[in-house]
Every structure is written in C-alpha cells, then in structure tokens.
Amino acid sequence: MATALVTGGTSGIGAAFARALAARGDDLVLVARDAARLEQVATELRSRYGVTVETLTADLAVRADVDRVAERLTDRDRPVDLLVNNAGFGLRGPLTAEDLSAFEHGFDVMVHAVMVLAAAAARAMTTRGHGAIVNVGSTAGYVTMGGYSALKAFVGVYTESLANELRGTGVTATLLAPGWVRTEFHERADIGTGSIPGFLWLQADDLVAACLRDVAAGKVISIPSKRYKALIFAARHAPRPLVRRASAALSSSRH
Ligand SMILES: NC(=O)c1ccc[n+]([C@@H]2O[C@H](COP(=O)([O-])OP(=O)(O)OC[C@H]3O[C@@H](n4cnc5c(N)ncnc54)[C@H](OP(=O)(O)O)[C@@H]3O)[C@@H](O)[C@H]2O)c1
C-alpha cells in the first residue's frame, strides 16, 4: 500500500493527481490552505475510492507551515512514497514594480517550499531505498514570460539536478511541465485566456495519467501531449532572441 502527499490537492492539476492516485488505491495526504475545501475533497475521495485521506491545512508561503509538511514527509512511522509538489499560482505584473510582494509570494510557494519539501521527501525516501518526487513546473519555464517563467525555470533546472543527485538511490525526481490547463489558475491570477487557441488547452486528468506513466518509467521530464513536446522542443532549440520576441508578443496579447 502506497501513500502520496499532494500539495494543492484540492483543485485543478493537484485534484486530478489526488483522484488518479486514489483510483489506483494509494492513500493520500492532501495539503492546501482552505481547510473546509480540503475536508470536502477528502470526504469525496474516501467515499468514492475507499482510501485513507489525511488533510494538512498549510500555507506554503509560511515557513513554519512548510516545516510542518516536511515533518510529515519524514515521519518514519507513516512513510510517504510519492510527493507531488504541485501548489502554485499565476503571476503577472512588471518585474520593475516597486512592490515585488507578489513575486516574493510566488518564490516562497513555488521555489522555497518545493525545495524544502523535495529535500525532506528525498532524505526519507533514500533511507528506505524507494520513492518518487514530482515537481510541477510549466512550459512557461522554457520561455521568457516574466517572474512566473523565472520561477518555473528554477523548478525545471532544480528537478533535473535532483534527479542527477538521486541516481542509483531507488528514488526518482520528475519535472511535470504542462502547457495551458483549464483549472482555477487563470481566474485566480486574473490572467486573460481569450487569445489562447482551443487546441492548446490540456485536460488535467489526461496530463496526470501521462505523468504517472512517466514516473513509473523513471522519466525525468514529463511533457504532456505531442503538441507541447513540439513547442518545448522549438523553445529549447530556437535562437534565444526569437524566443524572447515570441514571449514578449504572447505576454502582451494576454493583458
Ligand atoms: N493551469 C495551468 O494552465 C498551468 C500550466 C502550467 C503549470 N501549472 C502549475 O500547476 C500547478 C497547479 O495549478 P492549477 O492550475 O491546478 O491551479 P489551481 O486550480 O488554482 O489550484 C491551485 C492549488 O494550489 C493550492 N495553493 C495555492 N496557494 C497555496 C499556498 N500558498 N499554500 C498551499 N496551497 C496552495 C490551492 O489551494 P488553496 O487555495 O486552498 O491553498 C489549490 O489546491 C501550479 O504549480 C501551476 O503553476 C498550471
């Protein structure tokens, strides 16, 4: 019997991970800020799939809360076999703003918490000789679309480095780099989606199923769908001035 801890497991991609993992019989630890919603999601999953679902109310921008989640990951009596570092949100606004608190908040949740939780999980998992870590980055990490891109680029390089460090331990690290997915993400961040063509939207359940197959295969990078594999290939191989120009055009079309 395996146990998975999913941050941001109450909505969007995280909720899709929770459903898929419960459907295959994994017990869950779900982490998010909204306690009532956590309990509601946990109750649904318990009754539908018959698995054990713990809830941990935590704000991953608060360091003491991150430490509490890390303690749960390193609890020897209740081992966690899979960590999904998924919690996150969209960011917009100029990098030159006087008030950078939104980016700092993004840094705390999408960089600091990811690093602390992955390190805690990796220490516990390597002691047992098995386990898997999924860090949710983004296609945005391969282009230059502001603070969000910069944070997600960190998640990408960090995860590949972690995978190197973990080689031979029985523990894997996988970067999930989704493109646009219909979740609460865009509405929460007040990001316009009107200019995004329909064929670029992904379904959370599909990309989670593909990611879990990639994790089982020990893949370090999971890019959902052929179209995003092609787009990321282009972003990685095109001349950088072209990538910057395309990123700037795309950013301005969405404001
Ligand atoms: N949707 C996309 O197009 C897209 C594309 C690429 C990558 N991603 C990435 O996918 C991940 C999940 O996003 P999503 O689209 O599924 O968004 P979502 O539907 O808005 O879900 C976000 C989840 O994260 C939790 N969360 C947010 N801030 C938190 C905090 N400070 N502490 C703890 N939990 C927090 C939320 O719960 P509470 O509000 O209750 O805390 C919620 O469960 C993010 O890392 C995002 O950057 C999304």
Q: What is the pLDDT of residues 142-180, one digit of tens each?
A: 999 999 999 999 999 999 999 999 999 999 999 999 999
Residue with the bigger pLDDT between 125 and 254: it is 125
Does the pTM surpass 0.75? The reply is yes
- Looking at residue 175, its pLDDT comes to 99
Mean predicted confidence (pLDDT) in 225-246? 97
Mean predicted confidence (pLDDT) in 105-130? 98
Q: Which has the closest alpha carbon to 196: 178, 177, 208, 179?
A: 179
Report the distance separating Cα 127 and Cα 140, nearest Å.
34
- Looking at residue 1, its pLDDT comes to 79
- Looking at residue 255, its pLDDT comes to 55
Residue nearest to ligand 1 atom 43, measured at CA: 8
Q: Which has the closest alpha carbon to 175: 123, 224, 126?
A: 224
- Looking at residue 195, its pLDDT comes to 85
Catalytic residue of the set 49, 142, 148, 228? 148
Report the distance separating Cα 66 and Cα 76, nearest Å.
18
Residue type, 124: A
- Indicate whether 234 pLDDT > 90: yes
146 near 251, Cβ under 8 Å?
A: yes
Quote the mean pLDDT of the chain: 97
- Closest atom of ligand 1 to 204 CA is 16
- Looking at residue 250, its pLDDT comes to 87
Three-state secondary-structure class, residue 20: helix
Please report which confidence band the pLDDT of residue 254 belongs to, taking 50, 70 and 90 as the band edges.
low
Residue nearest to ligand 1 atom 42, measured at CA: 8
**Distance (Å) from CA 239 to ligand 1 centroid:** 31
Of 124-133, 186-195, 205-214, the least confident = 186-195
Please report which confidence band the pLDDT of residue 101 belongs to, taking 50, 70 and 90 as the band edges.
very high
Tokens of 39: 């309990």
Q: Which has the closest alpha carbon to 221: 123, 136, 125, 107?
A: 136
Alpha helices in 50-112 (DSSP H): 63-73, 101-107
- Closest atom of ligand 1 to 89 CA is 47
Q: Which has the closest alpha carbon to 212: 29, 22, 76?
A: 22
Please report which confidence band the pLDDT of residue 57 belongs to, taking 50, 70 and 90 as the band edges.
very high
The sheet with strand 131-136 has its strands ordered as 53-57, 27-32, 3-7, 82-85, 131-136, 171-176, 221-222
DSSP secondary structure code for residue 79 in this structure: -
Share of residues in the chain with pLDDT > 70 (%)? 99
Report the distance separating Cα 113 and Cα 69, nearest Å.
9
Residues 237, 238, 244, 247: is their CA dihedral positive or negative? negative
Residue nearest to ligand 1 atom 36, measured at CA: 8
- Closest atom of ligand 1 to 110 CA is 45
**Active-site residue 158, yes or no?**
no
Ligand 1: residues within 6 Å at CB?
A: 7-8, 10-14, 32-34, 37, 58-61, 86-89, 109-110, 136, 138, 178, 180-181, 183-185, 188
91 near 189, Cβ under 8 Å?
A: yes
